[in-house]
A and B are shown apart, each in its own frame.
Chain A
């Protein structure tokens, strides 16, 4: 059967990238001096799953590389190797390398193995480096584990190959009921076996029917034979040759001194229960005799009481329980039903439930006088195997299954993380919540439907009630749906610990990164698009913000710097702060630089506020770094940061104090689907301004408006000249009035320049849901989207930079000198 594995590739990649993420974060947590077992396990598990997955899909480059990684991790995990900070670095590099490899496999581009080969060699060097100690440990453990494995799996096990590992065979012989009718005689076979070696036989009678139902010609017995012999397995098989078709025969190697033996289900004929209640169990209202009565209902039971803990009569407290019991329960009983009986006393008692094999008797356990520890009894029982005991008492094989159960590793689930992929992981409670709300909505709808079907005046109040309920439901539903797209901001923050660590090492700085408010939720799309700007800002903080330890000490600060990333919700926005306690922005340097680049005039330089000066760093091509480093300082970055944030309808502010630090505050809308809008009216049309772009709005009179050459009007707003753009002209619509004094001027900011837009009236402010115009039509200059107002009509959301552009084009067509803020000011000067 061939399965098209490629359909699972996407899942593999997603899981692998998640695995790498968790590896990376675990590596960051890893303290080489005190290795936390769970952390190293987490790393190991991730590497292991990637190895397994890549091998399955035939990505050998990845699986081979991961294999080496895994070997190293395994040694760390088992404690045979300590890990150094350099090793952690190497592991982090290999995470990057794996990410690259997987990325290129995913995009089906050429795979560059040079780096992985290099790293692989490094790892192999490490592995070989102290091979002496490691291989010894390795060898011994391998010896331990491989020997029994070989015994168990190899069928043609000759005495020469493993002379000590076993000295006989265990034969489980379960003939079918009609074996006697075919003329086969078990006794004959046993006699034949006896000629091969020493045989001890135990007989299982748990399938024996009641005497009244017994058929004398059928065989209801099964046997376990332990043959101590050096003969080969084939010889034993020959004995059973004639009956192999009619019986179940399992021949397995048998080691006399082996305490733990394999148990097959057929061996379990009941349960051995050690029940040792705490002293005060009786006080909790639990009654052992009730438990025993319930047990007795399950099957035949024999109980022995252990009185070794019984105190002297004088010290006896009547309400305390000093006894413990050993119960043998015979019958085909599910373990869970036994556990069920003891369910209520589990906390107050020691209850060991172990499979009882065959005819383990109470007398046997009693012989090992005080049953303080049940394992003593078990050992005693298993030793009975090699003594030629009467068939009735045969080994208890109870250890194996119990051990298997308790040793089953509590496998912790690897933390799930969704990468920046097209799928989204939604917490189940969010989905449940949504389903609940849809249910509510359906109920409300049917209620309203009922009212509508036979409506009369007196039902008006019910109708109102229903409608308000509907409104309530809809709003809740909307909020829940929005929440589905929300992810905690830790997805964006998670890359920074690594980045800051690497950068600070490279730059020789000591930097502590603090992440706050990681659980703040943000729309997935916003999250994806804020990632790069954040990286720029954090890099800047590391490179320019934080000083070198020497500089810091000289400035009277402690040598280690600190960067804090903080996220929180504030009035419908998400605020992200990047705070560093570094050198801060120097007003003087900024101004010097701006003057040199002729961005500002000397007069402006003295009059500019601090905030305006800080805003200079968002100017394209502006960098204050003394030297361009490979980390930052090329002058691209801050303007890109600002543009990206503005595209998300967000804003960015800087607060800084020289030698104390810088705080950059980013404000983002919770989601891209909803916008805070200001409704404005021009003639018969209602448009929406994004509220973030509005600086202020005012009434103006003609006196404060100057006409510059070419027909462009500018308005003096305090100490600035703001060009006026008439929306009705840009959009070719009829306004109420073309006189400025009858209109309102909305001052908006676009690409750092202020523009005054003329509208007829300001209407409400409201949140609007952004709908795409491009989906069914095409892009319109000056319009960024549309929304549906409360009355169901469509209203257009204005794209301020687009409008300014159209206006500019129109004016230029009129030979206007209007172009940009600077130019118009220049024009004023001439004027």
Chain B
């Protein structure tokens, strides 16, 4: 049931962006390397503090391991490393956002490690700007749009696409380019 609901909302959101409808979505934003990123709040299952994860053998470096989330095995992904940012040391105040993402193989629960959780914004479809074309080299499918909140740029992520990508993108380059093009 829940899966369907999320499916529906994802579809709904997708059309909203295109049509610049009056309806608005809520986004949870988080900070990484002084950049603010947003994910659809409907994907967010919970926010928890960092706890040590069981490492997986031969896994890529951004996969920190798996944790036990009330009986479910949940992989933890360091979004910093996955965006090519420098790794930072984890402390108990390091935040893990547990997300429910839709992939081709059904819904998956994943945790992403971020620097800090920031705000919840309500963003209307018309406020959202499409991600600029950064050329063929950079895939921007996982960017849902850009939005300015209080003169800050928030990058809204299409988390379903991002976390189901085989090769995670180097976002440091992208954010630099985005910042340059925005200002």
Contacts and interface: CB of A to CB of B under 8 A. Distances in A.
A536 interface: no
Interface stretch (A398-406, A656-664, A718-726, A775-783): A775-783
A813 to B, nearest CB: 14
Given A773-B66, A792-B68, A794-B66, A783 B73 contact: no
A718 B88 CA distance: 51
A344 interface: no
Given A776-B109, A794-B53, A786 B66 contact: yes
A795 B53 CA distance: 10
B75 A793 contact: no
A455 interface: no
B72 A730 contact: no
B59 A780 contact: yes
Contacts of A781: 58
Interface string B61-83: 00101111001111100000000
Contacts of A771: 71-73
B67 to A, nearest CB: 6
Contacts of A546: none
Contact of A788 (B68, B75, B108, B109): B68
Contacts of A793: 52, 54, 68
> How many A residues are at the interface, by size bracket?
20 to 34
A780 B73 contact: no
A146 interface: no
B57 A773 contact: no
B39 to A, nearest CB: 17
Contacts of A788: 68, 71, 73
A776 B54 contact: no
A464 to B, nearest CB: 24
A533 B92 CA distance: 52
B57 A795 contact: no
Given A788-B68, A794-B67, A733 B73 contact: no
Contacts of A83: none
A786 B57 contact: no
B110 interface: yes
Nearest to A798: B57
B66 A733 contact: no
A699 interface: no
Contact of B57 (A776, A792, A794, A796): A796
A730 B110 CA distance: 26
Contacts of B49: none
A806 B66 CA distance: 21
A773 B67 CA distance: 11
Interface in A762-807: 771-773, 775-777, 780-783, 786, 788, 792-796, 806
B81 to A, nearest CB: 16
A769 to B, nearest CB: 9
A731 interface: yes
Contacts of A795: 54
B56 interface: yes
Interface in A721-780: 730-733, 771-773, 775-777, 780
A685 interface: yes
A622 to B, nearest CB: 35
B56 A783 contact: yes
Given A685-B54, A780-B58, 9 more contacts: A775-B73, A775-B108, A776-B109, A777-B110, A780-B56, A780-B57, A786-B66, A794-B65, A795-B54
Interface of B: 52-59, 63, 65-68, 71-75, 108-110
Ranked nearest first, the 10 interchain pairs of A and B with the lowest CB-CB distance are A731-B57, A794-B54, A777-B75, A776-B108, A788-B68, A786-B73, A771-B73, A794-B66, A776-B109, A794-B68
